[in-house]
Structure 1
Amino acid sequence: MDDLRTREWDAIVIGTGIGGGTAGRRLAEAGLSVLYLEKGRDLGDADLPALGLDSRDPETRLANGAWPRLLEAQLDGAWCELDGMIGAGVGGTSAFYAATLERPERHDLESVEGHPHPTGGWPISYDGMRPWFQLAENYFYINGEVDPLAPNGAQLLPPVLPLPASDAALISALQRTGMHPYRTHIAARFLPGCESCFGRRCPRRCKMDGRSAGVLPALETGRAALIDRCPVTRIEADGARVTGVTCRRDGQEFTLRAKRYVLAAGGLASPSLLLQSRSETWPDGLGNGNDLVGRNLMFHLSEIIAIWAGRSRGETGASRSISMRDLYFMDGQRFGTVQSMGLSAGFGEILHALNGRFERSPLRRLRPLRHGLRIPAMVAARLLGNAKLFVGVLEDLPYADNRVLSDPTDPDRLRFHYDISDELRSRRAAFRKAMRQAFRPHRAMFMGAAPQLNFAHPCGTLRFGDDPTDSVLDRDCRMHGLDNLYVADSSFMPTSNGVNPSLTIAANALRVADAIVAGLRPRLAAGGSLGY
């Protein structure tokens, strides 16, 4: 451990999720010495359930791979605590994710005729990102079917899991109504039974995440090392350069140093750490000269709908087989993808949805009537069988007042302010209407009425761009005003797009790593050898 602390590394990577794990692997494979710093534990191949925990005890939460404290949020003006399903351990949140990695669409990143982007696009085009999308798809073993609406999109391995008979029937039914379903893009090297690890830790490393596709391959190069249970409390800077990171482990505080630093603690934790890292040059937090650090916070909205489409005899469980993008961009409105969740809705889920409707009805004051909802829920479950749950991923857009808030008294507390805009409420209503229409041939019921923010998808809080007056990072995701600090997590995204962000994070992390490698190459004459 002393040797790890005293040497100067080519790169220190803060965080081991999709972004940090992938960036560190790319740097190590390029010949650089890399030190990973992880707040949580290295849980190895422990088989643990999803991140939702009943416990509020920080040690219990960390022992299970969850962020030690609940999130503290001001939502539409009201303060509350919530479990945001944020990971803290090697692999980060990705160790528990559902491994759905899909490319965004061209109009997500740039203005395209017929698909006007409301915020002006990204500083790098879709074609500029394409090489790293392809590389990320290789790193993460993405398998599935090509989206028929984007035949020149992802580079995929063929689907590994067989298609359940009921899903095949549902795909055929959707195709008959003019929809374009396809096999979901999954990051996995499947073994028998591995489909059960979606949403939980994978004990056999078949699911590809920040640990299995990033940290472990980096360590295997012999050029990377890992210190877990090592929260970074401060990033030290002298003028325009980061000089070190202050860490805490086993009750001791120490400073680690490198030529380059990659911040990948997540869309909430990265800006929070920067706001806490104040200096004479940066009195309001590193990179925060224009009060942009932590602003433009976005999530996705999740619209969950239960579909009763029939099930073949002997079929059990549910699969993550189906995605479709027919609703992604409709009538000038930015919606998103719709995909199966790998979950089923039985009596309990139906009763929960009916209770929600009751609470919004004129009968809600007649409390005894609520108990009668158990009967129709039971009848529906018996007559229709367990329904397949689908989720619509509704794009969120950036608003400067939605932001991460610093808490200097408690670095483990992640705080933010978020208001649901009128524009988002209007798009949500239109999206739900489009989803009902898409599944019209089947019995369907939304599993909630209130907007459901996906707190596991925070992004946009350190947006990248060419203009330092409206962005925190440059197009290489290097911080404006700090020439050796880069960001490789979801914070960089100017918009949230209409797909899960994981593939975009991984692709950009590879791009950032390549920019760092290029910057560390000695300036030799053409044909000279490279050294690090």
Structure 2
Amino acid sequence: MNHANVGMLPDLPNTNFDVCIVGAGFAGIVIASELSGNGLRILLVESGGFVRRDFANELDAVESVGWPRVDDQWLVRNRIVGGSSHTWSGRCVPFDDIDYELRPWVPHSGWPLTPTEMLPYLDRAAPYLGIDRSSGYNGEQFWRIASRKRPVPIFDEAMLRSYYWTFSRDPIQRGDHIRLIRHLPHWIGNDVMLLTNATVCRIIADEDGMFAKHLEVAAPDGVRHRIGAKIIILAAGGIENPRLLLCSSNYRAGSMGNAHDQVGRYLMDHLRGPIASFPLVGTQALRRQFGHYRIKGGQIFVHGLQLPETVQYNEALLNTTAWLEGRTAVDDPYNALKRWARFRPDLPADMISVLYNFGLLARGVHDYFIDRNGLPRKIEKLLLMGMCEQLPDAESRITLSDKRDQFGLPRARIDWRVHEPERQSLRRIALATVQEFSRLGLPAPVPEDWVTNDLPLPYDFRDVAHPTGTTRMGNSELTSVVDKNCRVHGMHNLYIAGSSVFPTSSHANPTQMIVALSIRLADTVKQVAQRT
């Protein structure tokens, strides 16, 4: 990989590329990696640099006018080489079959792709995510893979089912998730130029508005440059992708790709928050059963809960999951040991934590090395957390604000909508958990007040950095922005990558699907490049 700062652009021998990718996060870096070594001149453009800068952070500021969202944009998206891999939780899971389906109770649902079509790309995504298995581990299959007996008693799957997520492991840095910045030298060859501190301001089309000719990029000092490319791919995230299109004119119908006013619409995220809580006393075995599991090879899974598809069909609910989450106590001995390992102990408090909780540490050795479970932590609260998909709603959207950024470009105005079916789905999984745990003799959670009394969803259910659907995929340009190959309707050479193309959001964390679709898009671009 070659690297250049935007200030070096005038001195580069050639600023016309075969492929230009906007955004060096998961989508952009994976596409660049897949295209590298195919005889193409590739440019990967990143607004940030290799370290976090206040100037880049300020470019992410938004105007939020809908349901309350997380204020700190660094927790939502990272304008830096490596993108949101700097802050992601590492949780991976493929979409369920029902997520691809046209569901009558979910308006605008249905993908133009099938689970079977996506399976090989999910498998190819695994090395980029630091996981060994990309799918096929839910239900009874998990216990076969883990070489363990399924815990009894067993849920009535007409009410509730077990569900499993896996977590990224970085082979370069033990104990951490994949951070893309560490892997660039291994994944990307010298046919890729990484251009940093280069903020794309707009896309410039030809006079017919059907061919994206140039990118206009700005250096931090405001100096503008033009970069030409035969193929342009936007991989800047669920907020920036639509914002860039809205800031760009195609001479025919106003904003680029927006002939039918679809750009920025159908904004979805994931509502996540507490739906019930458990007493701490007597839940030790429950925490082990619904905790972390390490299987052969070291891959980590966590055991949770899901509303079965039959419940979703019969009650017109959304895909919803739940899991146990312990709030770690201040004197947790494992956190104390971590600080010691990093040569930053908090003396004498850490020494007291280790000595006072020595029994917990001793049990942890057995749980981790013998039972291959997660480490038992000292917690002060045990919650049942819920997370659900959202309805695709055309009025939940991103538009351009009257407020401007440092380059004079309109900021993103976010009107995020929350709907009654989401509240009903979260409430339903809470009540199902109480019912099934009580029936099976497990410690039953106490539902939150809004669940018990059927009250409105609390405002502390916020987004979880998964902006989705704002340049959605579909067969008709009347109701979507890109086709099944992620090409912008009406444009010959403009493509979009990332969660902004998802027609529906599932309950699933989006990174695994982002990477799989990025690999698929790279295959498409290779074929197009060979023809042209």
The alignment's TM-score, normalised by the length of structure 2, stands at 0.72
* 1:124 partnered with 2:104: no
Task: Give 1:335's aligned residue.
Answer: 319
* 1:501 partnered with 2:510: yes
Aligned residues: 438
**C-alpha distance in 1 between matches for 2:435 and 2:59:** 42
Question: Is the 1:29–1:218 Cα contact (8 Å) retained in structure 2?
Answer: no
Give the CA deviation at 1:110. Answer: 2.5
CA offset digits 1:113-163 (Å, max 9, x no partner): xx9765341111111111111111233231469534284x9xxxx88xxx9
Task: Give 1:430's aligned residue.
Answer: 428
**C-alpha distance in 1 between matches for 2:232 and 2:505:** 25
Which stretch shifts more, 401-410 or 94-103? 401-410
Task: Give 1:405's aligned residue.
Answer: 399
Give the CA deviation at 1:257. Answer: 1.2
1:136–1:345 CA distance, 2 compared to 1 (3 A):
same
Give the fraction of aligned pairs with identical amino acids, expressed as a percent.
24
CA offset digits 1:333-387 (Å, max 9, x no partner): 223233456x634489xxxxxxxxxxxxxxxxxxxxxxxxxxxxxxxxxxx9534
**C-alpha distance in 2 between matches for 1:211 and 1:436:** 43
- 1:284-295 alignment, distance < 5 Å: 285-295=255-265
**C-alpha distance in 2 between matches for 1:147 and 1:100:** 14
CA offset digits 1:284-329 (Å, max 9, x no partner): x1111100000011011113355546459xx9xx967413354253
Question: Is the 1:174–1:180 Cα contact (8 Å) retained in structure 2?
Answer: no
1:79–1:337 CA distance, 2 compared to 1 (3 A):
closer
Task: Give 1:454's aligned residue.
Answer: 463
Question: Is the 1:335–1:431 Cα contact (8 Å) retained in structure 2?
Answer: no
* 1:271 partnered with 2:242: yes
* 1:344 aligns with one of 304, 309, 327: 327
Which stretch shifts more, 243-252 or 440-449? 440-449
* 1:87 partnered with 2:78: yes
**C-alpha distance in 2 between matches for 1:417 and 1:273:** 17
Q: Once superposed, what is the RMSD of the aligned Cα atoms?
A: 3.6
1:512–1:74 CA distance, 2 compared to 1 (3 A):
same
- 1:97-496 alignment, distance < 5 Å: 97-111=88-102, 118-143=107-132, 146-149=136-139, 151=141, 172=151, 175=154, 181=162, 184-190=165-171, 194=175, 197=176, 207-212=177-182, 215-219=184-188, 221-238=189-206, 239-251=209-221, 252-283=223-254, 285-304=255-274, 306-307=277-278, 308=280, 310-311=283-284, 321-329=301-309, 330-332=311-313, 333-339=317-323, 344-346=327-329, 385-388=379-382, 391-407=385-401, 409-410=404-405, 411=409, 413-437=411-435, 440=438, 441-442=442-443, 444=445, 450-451=458-459, 452-496=461-505
Give the CA deviation at 1:175. Answer: 4.9
Task: Give 1:53's aligned residue.
Answer: none
**C-alpha distance in 1 between matches for 2:155 and 2:100:** 32
The aligned amino acid for 2:46 is E
**C-alpha distance in 2 between matches for 1:99 and 1:448:** 31
Question: Is the 2:167–2:301 Cα contact (8 Å) retained in structure 1?
Answer: no
Task: Give 2:337's aligned residue.
Answer: none
Task: Give 2:355's aligned residue.
Answer: none
Give the CA deviation at 1:35. Answer: 1.1
CA offset digits 1:437-462 (Å, max 9, x no partner): 45552364678961513240010000
Question: Is the 1:149–1:325 Cα contact (8 Å) retained in structure 2?
Answer: no
Question: Is the 1:40–1:90 Cα contact (8 Å) retained in structure 2?
Answer: yes
**C-alpha distance in 2 between matches for 1:291 and 1:129:** 29
Question: Is the 1:71–1:82 Cα contact (8 Å) retained in structure 2?
Answer: no
SS at 1:454 equivalent: coil
**C-alpha distance in 1 between matches for 2:225 and 2:507:** 41
Question: Is the 2:388–2:426 Cα contact (8 Å) retained in structure 1?
Answer: yes
SS at 1:6 equivalent: coil
1:346–1:442 CA distance, 2 compared to 1 (3 A):
farther
CA offset digits 1:67-88 (Å, max 9, x no partner): 6444321125x89956462211
Task: Give 1:362's aligned residue.
Answer: none
SS at 1:142 equivalent: coil
**C-alpha distance in 2 between matches for 1:223 and 1:246:** 22
The alignment's TM-score, normalised by the length of structure 1, stands at 0.72
Which consecutive residues of structure 2, in runs of 5 or more, have no partner in the other structure?
A: 1-7, 293-299, 332-377, 451-457
SS at 1:185 equivalent: strand
